[in-house]
A and B are shown apart, each in its own frame.
Chain A
Amino acid sequence: MTPTAQQAQPRAQGVALSLRGVQRVFAGGVEAVAPLDLAVDAGDFLALLGPSGCGKSTLLRLIAGLDRPDAGQVLIDGRSASGLIGDRGHRVAFVFQDAHLLPWRSVLRNVELPLELRGVGKSERRQRARAAIEQVGLGDAAGRYPAQLSGGMRMRASLARALVTDPLLLLLDEPFAALDEITRHALDQQLRQLWLDRRMTVLFVTHSISEAVFLAQRAVVLSRRPARIVEGRAIDLPMARDSATRTQEAFVREMRYLREALERGGGLA
């Protein structure tokens, strides 16, 4: 991003991320992530696109500090990710493939959880949780329990739980993969809007080419396991995107480009 372009947009709220020679080998010698370099600017929206089982989820866990690389370094804002996990000011949020809500808590209390664990007072966390729930469009379901919600609503609640801490880095691991297409498109649209409003750094793991194109500013295509980078591409689409964007020529062109990159990485074999 050029300096002039940066000035035209809202100030980036996110943190920069860099991976240097990051490698992960599981017990038994299976290499999940090949030594890999990646730099993400503060406030960027990056899609990590790769075939199923290619190691992209492992990569995301390494970035979150939930797993340690066998070689190399993950740096968030210049500091090591594994050292940050015990840090109270550490604002990284993670959205899993399924909603993973606590079934014994209402939506409101699920969304409050991250603040509660960090010792935020009751009235403040309630207020912030309500705001996050409103933002994902779940306002009238705050008092309901996960078992009473549809899959899409549960995912919205999970998204609200991630947003409630005002993360500087938001990591999403195929969050909408299990949803029907209509719900998925609605949530893609909402996530894109949330990013435009907040400009945190977002890493979005997906195996859907169209989802990567619709959501991201930049897409990185990964090969089959062990994951290495086949291609990094800036998505050439306007900032504001809606359902009409999906049928535009530029959208189709970007999809074709990423598909070819996936093929080169052996992802479509």
Chain B
Amino acid sequence: MKGATLKAVWPPATVLVASAVAVEALVRVGGVPAWLLPTPWAVTQAVWTQWDQLGPALGRTVLATLMGFFASGLVGVAVAVALSSSRWVQRAFYPYAIFFQTVPIVAIAPLLVIWFGYGLRTVAVASFIVAVFPVVANTLNGLLSVDPALRDLFRLYQASRWDALWKLHLPAALPQVFTGLRIAGGLAVIGAIVAEFFVASGGLGVVMQAAMRQNRTEVVFAAIALASAVGLSLLWAVNAAAHLALRHWSASEQGG
């Protein structure tokens, strides 16, 4: 397990360090002005020196993202279960579920501000709206592709709808639920940051805008780095949960 983790961490870490060093050298040698492209070192320093500002902002963004993410997980799975309950329901409602994917969050953010005010609530709702569709689509796909022989088996043994849902359909759809959650994690961060631009009550999005106006490009980069760290951590957490939940499914996952 330890060896496997190291194997997974080393290659990207090497790429990160190597590219940081390369950019650092290019910027210094080429004399690129700091407001155009700060050196990676300057960005790293900004994370520390501006922590008074970045730390609380990070906290707010994380909170809104987690609220949006968990809501998208719960609501997404519940909606998928409802949609899978009958063909008619699916035909009637699925087009409206697609709405959540196609509507640009930038376009409806002002509406959300009107409805939910200038605060955390709006940011969390925007994060949820952006993240929920992949959970619905993937979970629905999983629920509909349950092995027909197993459906027959549950019918033959007179399983109730409730038992069929909890003991067959939901567990069978778990791999697809996790696929949806992986996508939702990244999107939830995007939704939160975009909403913060509009709400302007705090968070990494607000720091980015303020730093941009002050030409403090290294702070913009520092905020971007922290935002992607939030997305990556969420992805890592989903992967860890998937690994744990699906550990018995295939021989290759043994010993995890």
**A residues lining the B interface (CB < 8 Å):** 61, 64-66, 85-88, 90, 92-94, 96, 98, 100, 102-104, 106, 113-114, 116-118, 145, 147-148, 165
> Please, which residues of chain B bring their CB within 8 A of the CB of A86?
158
B250: chain A residues at CB < 8 Å are 103, 147
Knowing that A61-B152, A103-B249, A114-B157 are A-B contacts, what are 8 other residue pairs whose CB atoms are under 8 Å apart, sorted by A's residue number? A90-B158, A96-B153, A117-B157, A117-B160, A147-B248, A147-B249, A147-B250, A147-B253
Of the candidates B158, B246, B248, B249, which one forms a contact with A117 in the assembled complex, judged by CB atoms under 8 Å apart? B158
Q: Would you call the interface of chain A mostly helix, strand, loop, or mixed?
A: loop
Q: What are 18 A-B pairs with beta-carbon distances under 8 A?
A: A65-B156, A66-B152, A85-B158, A93-B156, A94-B152, A98-B149, A100-B150, A102-B167, A102-B171, A103-B249, A117-B154, A117-B157, A117-B158, A117-B159, A118-B157, A147-B248, A147-B250, A148-B251
**Does B155 sit at the interface, judged by CB under 8 A?**
yes
Q: Report chain A residues within 8 Å CB of B172.
A: 102
Interface string of B127-170 (1 = CB under 8 A from A): 00000000000000000000101101111111110010001100
Measured CB to CB, the nearest residue on chain B to A65 is B156
**Residue B214 interfacial (CB < 8 Å):** no
B14 within 8 A of A: no
Q: Distance in Å from the Cβ of A47 to the closest Cβ of chain B?
A: 21
- Chain A residues, CB < 8 A from B159: 117
| Cβ-neighbour of A92 out of B156, B167, B171, B251 (below 8 A) | B156
* Count of B interface residues, CB-CB < 8 Å: 25
Contact B248 A103 (CB under 8 A): yes
Question: A87 contacts which chain B residues (CB < 8 A)?
Answer: 158
Q: Is the CB of B248 within 8 A of A145?
A: yes
B251's contact among A88, A104, A114, A147, by CB below 8 Å, is which?
A: A147
- Complex Cα distance A61/B174, Å? 29
Quick one: which of A64, A116, A145 contacts B156, CB cutoff 8 A? A64
Q: Which residues of B contact A61 (CB under 8 A)?
A: 152
Judge if B5 is at the interface, Cβ distance under 8 Å: no
